[in-house]
Structure 1
Amino acid sequence: MSVYVDQLVPHPPPKDAATRRAGAPHGHQWCHLSCDPGGEEELHAFAARIGLKREWFQAPPKASKPHYDLTPPRRAAALEAGAVELDRAGLRAFFARWRARR
Protein backbone atom coordinates (compact mmCIF):
# COMPACT_ATOMS: atom_id res chain seq x y z
CA MET A 1 0.00 0.00 0.00
CA SER A 2 1.07 3.57 -0.60
CA VAL A 3 0.23 6.96 0.84
CA TYR A 4 -0.25 9.82 -1.63
CA VAL A 5 -0.42 13.61 -1.70
CA ASP A 6 -2.02 15.55 -4.52
CA GLN A 7 -1.33 19.10 -5.66
CA LEU A 8 -2.05 22.16 -3.51
CA VAL A 9 -5.20 24.00 -4.56
CA PRO A 10 -6.51 27.34 -3.20
CA HIS A 11 -9.95 27.11 -1.59
CA PRO A 12 -12.36 29.73 -0.27
CA PRO A 13 -12.01 30.23 3.50
CA PRO A 14 -14.03 27.51 5.29
CA LYS A 15 -16.95 28.26 7.58
CA ASP A 16 -15.50 26.47 10.58
CA ALA A 17 -13.25 28.86 12.56
CA ALA A 18 -10.52 26.35 13.49
CA THR A 19 -10.02 25.29 9.87
CA ARG A 20 -10.11 28.91 8.74
CA ARG A 21 -7.34 29.75 11.24
CA ALA A 22 -5.24 26.77 10.06
CA GLY A 23 -5.54 27.70 6.39
CA ALA A 24 -5.21 31.48 6.62
CA PRO A 25 -1.40 31.63 6.98
CA HIS A 26 -1.07 29.57 3.80
CA GLY A 27 -3.57 31.41 1.60
CA HIS A 28 -6.16 28.66 2.18
CA GLN A 29 -4.19 26.26 -0.01
CA TRP A 30 -4.90 22.64 0.76
CA CYS A 31 -4.19 19.20 -0.62
CA HIS A 32 -5.07 15.65 0.43
CA LEU A 33 -3.20 12.79 2.07
CA SER A 34 -4.82 9.61 0.74
CA CYS A 35 -4.15 5.89 0.44
CA ASP A 36 -4.87 2.94 -1.79
CA PRO A 37 -8.21 1.21 -1.17
CA GLY A 38 -7.99 -0.84 2.02
CA GLY A 39 -4.96 1.07 3.31
CA GLU A 40 -6.65 3.23 5.93
CA GLU A 41 -4.64 1.80 8.85
CA GLU A 42 -1.41 2.61 7.02
CA LEU A 43 -2.79 6.08 6.29
CA HIS A 44 -3.54 6.69 9.99
CA ALA A 45 -0.08 5.49 11.04
CA PHE A 46 1.57 7.71 8.43
CA ALA A 47 -0.58 10.68 9.45
CA ALA A 48 0.38 10.21 13.10
CA ARG A 49 4.08 10.15 12.15
CA ILE A 50 3.78 13.61 10.55
CA GLY A 51 1.76 15.06 13.44
CA LEU A 52 -1.83 14.81 12.20
CA LYS A 53 -4.62 14.14 14.67
CA ARG A 54 -6.91 11.18 14.04
CA GLU A 55 -9.96 13.44 14.42
CA TRP A 56 -8.86 15.32 11.28
CA PHE A 57 -9.51 12.21 9.17
CA GLN A 58 -12.38 12.53 6.67
CA ALA A 59 -14.22 9.58 5.12
CA PRO A 60 -17.42 8.69 3.29
CA PRO A 61 -20.23 9.56 3.45
CA LYS A 62 -19.08 13.10 4.32
CA ALA A 63 -16.05 12.87 1.99
CA SER A 64 -15.68 11.16 -1.37
CA LYS A 65 -12.51 9.26 -0.35
CA PRO A 66 -10.76 8.62 2.98
CA HIS A 67 -8.21 11.40 3.45
CA TYR A 68 -6.62 14.07 5.61
CA ASP A 69 -6.46 17.69 4.44
CA LEU A 70 -2.94 19.15 4.43
CA THR A 71 -1.60 22.70 4.49
CA PRO A 72 1.63 23.41 2.54
CA PRO A 73 3.95 22.70 5.51
CA ARG A 74 2.16 19.40 6.26
CA ARG A 75 2.37 18.47 2.58
CA ALA A 76 6.13 19.06 2.67
CA ALA A 77 6.37 16.88 5.79
CA ALA A 78 4.37 14.11 4.08
CA LEU A 79 6.65 14.16 1.04
CA GLU A 80 9.74 14.13 3.26
CA ALA A 81 8.31 11.13 5.14
CA GLY A 82 7.84 9.20 1.88
CA ALA A 83 4.38 10.00 0.53
CA VAL A 84 4.05 9.63 -3.23
CA GLU A 85 3.30 12.89 -5.04
CA LEU A 86 0.49 12.68 -7.58
CA ASP A 87 0.25 14.98 -10.57
CA ARG A 88 -3.05 15.32 -12.46
CA ALA A 89 -2.53 12.08 -14.42
CA GLY A 90 -1.54 10.24 -11.25
CA LEU A 91 -4.60 11.56 -9.48
CA ARG A 92 -6.85 10.34 -12.32
CA ALA A 93 -5.24 6.87 -12.07
CA PHE A 94 -5.71 6.92 -8.30
CA PHE A 95 -9.43 7.69 -8.67
CA ALA A 96 -9.78 4.94 -11.29
CA ARG A 97 -8.30 2.44 -8.78
CA TRP A 98 -10.80 3.59 -6.18
CA ARG A 99 -13.73 3.19 -8.56
CA ALA A 100 -12.55 -0.28 -9.58
CA ARG A 101 -12.35 -1.41 -5.93
CA ARG A 102 -15.85 -0.18 -4.99
Structure 2
Amino acid sequence: MYGNAKDFVGIHMTGGEILIKEDCQNRPGADMLDGKIVICGHVSSILPTFTIEDIRKSVKVDGEKIGGPFYRFSGDLANKGQGRLYVSKERNPHLRFYEKYL
Protein backbone atom coordinates (compact mmCIF):
# COMPACT_ATOMS: atom_id res chain seq x y z
CA MET A 1 0.00 0.00 0.00
CA TYR A 2 1.72 3.18 -1.16
CA GLY A 3 -0.62 5.62 0.55
CA ASN A 4 -2.22 5.97 3.96
CA ALA A 5 -4.40 3.35 5.67
CA LYS A 6 -7.47 3.97 7.79
CA ASP A 7 -8.61 2.25 11.01
CA PHE A 8 -8.36 -1.51 11.54
CA VAL A 9 -6.02 -2.36 8.64
CA GLY A 10 -5.49 -6.14 8.68
CA ILE A 11 -8.53 -6.87 10.85
CA HIS A 12 -9.12 -10.65 11.17
CA MET A 13 -5.82 -11.30 9.33
CA THR A 14 -4.89 -15.00 9.21
CA GLY A 15 -1.59 -14.81 7.31
CA GLY A 16 0.36 -12.99 4.64
CA GLU A 17 1.97 -9.57 4.65
CA ILE A 18 0.76 -5.97 4.45
CA LEU A 19 3.22 -3.13 3.83
CA ILE A 20 1.99 0.41 4.47
CA LYS A 21 4.52 2.93 3.14
CA GLU A 22 2.78 5.93 4.73
CA ASP A 23 0.62 6.54 7.82
CA CYS A 24 -1.98 4.33 9.48
CA GLN A 25 -4.81 5.38 11.74
CA ASN A 26 -5.99 3.37 14.76
CA ARG A 27 -5.82 -0.26 15.79
CA PRO A 28 -3.88 -2.07 13.04
CA GLY A 29 -4.08 -5.86 13.31
CA ALA A 30 -7.23 -6.06 15.41
CA ASP A 31 -8.27 -9.70 15.91
CA MET A 32 -5.17 -10.79 13.97
CA LEU A 33 -4.25 -14.50 14.16
CA ASP A 34 -1.10 -14.62 12.03
CA GLY A 35 0.82 -12.66 9.42
CA LYS A 36 2.85 -9.47 9.29
CA ILE A 37 1.88 -5.79 9.06
CA VAL A 38 4.66 -3.26 8.45
CA ILE A 39 3.91 0.44 8.98
CA CYS A 40 6.63 2.79 7.71
CA GLY A 41 4.80 5.96 8.72
CA HIS A 42 2.94 7.26 11.76
CA VAL A 43 0.36 5.11 13.55
CA SER A 44 -2.16 6.76 15.85
CA SER A 45 -2.46 3.93 18.36
CA ILE A 46 -1.61 0.30 19.04
CA LEU A 47 -4.16 -2.00 20.62
CA PRO A 48 -3.40 -2.84 24.26
CA THR A 49 -3.69 -6.53 23.31
CA PHE A 50 -0.37 -6.32 21.44
CA THR A 51 2.89 -6.69 23.36
CA ILE A 52 6.25 -5.24 22.41
CA GLU A 53 8.88 -7.87 21.62
CA ASP A 54 11.94 -5.91 20.52
CA ILE A 55 13.33 -3.27 18.16
CA ARG A 56 14.47 -4.46 14.72
CA LYS A 57 16.97 -2.69 12.45
CA SER A 58 15.02 -3.80 9.38
CA VAL A 59 12.24 -6.12 8.25
CA LYS A 60 11.72 -8.20 5.10
CA VAL A 61 8.51 -7.95 3.13
CA ASP A 62 8.10 -10.21 0.11
CA GLY A 63 11.88 -10.70 0.07
CA GLU A 64 12.63 -6.95 0.09
CA LYS A 65 14.56 -5.51 3.03
CA ILE A 66 12.89 -2.41 4.50
CA GLY A 67 15.16 -0.20 6.62
CA GLY A 68 14.06 0.73 10.12
CA PRO A 69 14.35 0.73 13.02
CA PHE A 70 10.96 -0.81 13.80
CA TYR A 71 9.16 -1.62 17.03
CA ARG A 72 8.03 -5.26 16.78
CA PHE A 73 4.76 -6.16 18.52
CA SER A 74 2.99 -9.53 18.71
CA GLY A 75 -0.73 -10.18 18.97
CA ASP A 76 -3.64 -9.93 18.87
CA LEU A 77 -3.46 -11.60 22.28
CA ALA A 78 -7.23 -11.16 22.74
CA ASN A 79 -7.49 -13.85 20.07
CA LYS A 80 -4.33 -15.79 21.05
CA GLY A 81 -2.86 -14.45 17.84
CA GLN A 82 0.68 -14.98 16.60
CA GLY A 83 0.71 -11.96 14.28
CA ARG A 84 3.56 -9.49 14.03
CA LEU A 85 3.21 -5.73 13.81
CA TYR A 86 6.27 -3.68 12.80
CA VAL A 87 5.98 0.07 13.40
CA SER A 88 8.55 2.71 12.45
CA LYS A 89 10.34 3.86 15.58
CA GLU A 90 11.48 7.11 13.98
CA ARG A 91 7.98 8.18 12.90
CA ASN A 92 6.33 7.26 16.21
CA PRO A 93 8.06 8.94 19.17
CA HIS A 94 4.80 8.68 21.15
CA LEU A 95 5.38 4.89 21.35
CA ARG A 96 8.74 5.32 23.11
CA PHE A 97 7.15 4.44 26.47
CA TYR A 98 6.97 0.78 25.30
CA GLU A 99 10.78 0.60 25.47
CA LYS A 100 10.65 0.31 29.27
CA TYR A 101 9.06 -3.14 28.78
CA LEU A 102 12.01 -4.49 26.78
TM-score of the pair, normalised by structure 2: 0.28
Higher relative CO (CA 8 A, sep ≥ 6), structure 1 or 2? 1
TM-score of the pair, normalised by structure 1: 0.28
Q: Higher strand share goes to which structure?
A: 2
Bigger Rg over Cα: 1
